[in-house]
Amino acid sequence: MKNRIKECRKAAGMSQAGLGMKVGVMGNSIANYERDFREPDLATWERLASALHVSPAYLVGWSDEKGQP
């Protein structure tokens, strides 16, 4: 299942580098996450979801509900 990082990042008007700065990872890590080359750890999923204002379950692709719990 494809994650929704790229979709949510673009909707938020952020670059990969900008999102990386917000969550404490390099921009190339965001690119790898978006392409499913690498998977973020649980803490990073949570930071990504928070930065993108969606629930972690939505970001991972487990839920169609965008809202944060």
For 16-63, the pLDDT digits (tens) are 999 999 999 998 999 999 999 999 999 999 999 999 999 999 999 888
Could you tell me the pTM of the whole model?
Answer: 0.89
Quick one: which of 41, 7, 4 has its CA closest to 24?
A: 41
Task: Report the distance separating Cα 40 and Cα 28, nearest Å.
Answer: 12
What pLDDT band is residue 11 in, cutting at 50, 70 and 90? very high
The C-alpha atoms of residue 52 and residue 41 are separated, in whole angstroms, by: 16
Please tell me the distance from the alpha carbon of residue 26 to that of residue 68, in angstroms, as a whole number. Answer: 24
Span 5-60: which CATH code? 1.10.260.40
Domain range annotation of the chain: 5-60
